[in-house]
Homo-oligomer: A and B are copies of this chain.
Amino acid sequence: MALQEVLQYLDDHRDDHLRQLCDFLKIPSISTQPEYAGDIHRAVGLLTDELAGLGMQPEVIETEGYPLVYAQSEQREGVPTLLFYGHYDVQPVDPVDLWKSPPFEPVIKDGWIIARGASDDKGQMYSHIKAIEAFVRTGIDLPVNIKMIFEGEEECGGESIASYVHKNSQKLGCDMVVISDTHMYDEQTPAICTSLRGLCYMEINLKGPAVDLHSGIYGGVIRNPANALCRIISNLHNEQGRITIPGFYDDVFQVGEDVRREFSRLGHNDGMIKDETGVKAVFGESGFSSLERMWIRPTCDVNGIWSGYTGHGAKTIIPAVAGAKVSMRLVPHQDPNKIADAFTNYIKSNCPDGIEVDVKLLGAAKPVLLPRESPLILAGKTAIEKGFGHKAVFMGDGGSIPIVGTFQESLQVPVLLLGYGLLTDNIHSPNERFKVDHYYRGIRTTALLLEEVAG
- Interface presence of A362 (CB below 8 A): yes
Q: How many copies does the complex hold?
A: 2
Taken together as a complex, chains A and B put the C-alpha atoms of A397 and B98 apart, in Å, by 45
- Interface presence of A234 (CB below 8 A): yes
Residue-wise, chain A 306-339 has the 8 Å CB interface mask toward B (1 for contact) of 1111111111111100111101010000000000
Q: Which of A157, A219, A423 has the most chain B CB atoms closer than 10 A to its own CB?
A: A219
- Interface presence of A140 (CB below 8 A): no
| Extra A-B contacts (17), CB below 8 Å, given A213-B277, A303-B309, A306-B310 | A32-B315, A94-B309, A95-B212, A199-B216, A199-B316, A201-B316, A215-B299, A215-B301, A216-B397, A217-B294, A217-B397, A220-B285, A222-B282, A231-B237, A233-B234, A302-B308, A316-B327
Taken together as a complex, chains A and B put the C-alpha atoms of A426 and B304 apart, in Å, by 29
Contact of A233 among B219, B227, B302 (CB under 8 A): B227
Interface residues on chain A, number (Cβ under 8 Å)? 95
Of A128-136, A427-435, A443-451, the segment with at least 4 beta carbons within 8 Å of chain B is: A427-435
- Contact yes or no, B316 A230, CB < 8 A: no
- Interface presence of A229 (CB below 8 A): yes
Of A21-29, A168-176, A203-211, A408-416, the segment with at least 4 beta carbons within 8 Å of chain B is: A203-211
Contact of A303 among B317, B353, B354, B363 (CB under 8 A): B317
Which residues of A line the B interface, CB within 8 A? 32, 91-92, 94-95, 98, 156-157, 197, 199, 201, 208-224, 226-227, 229-231, 233-237, 270, 273, 277-285, 290, 293-294, 297, 299, 301-319, 322-325, 327, 329, 352-354, 356, 362-363, 397-400, 423, 426-430
Instruction: Identify the closest chain B residue to A210 (Cβ).
Output: B278
- Contact yes or no, B277 A305, CB < 8 A: no
Q: Label chain A's interface by main secondary structure.
A: loop
Find chain B residues with CB under 8 A from A220 CB: 284-285, 290, 293-294, 297, 299, 329, 398
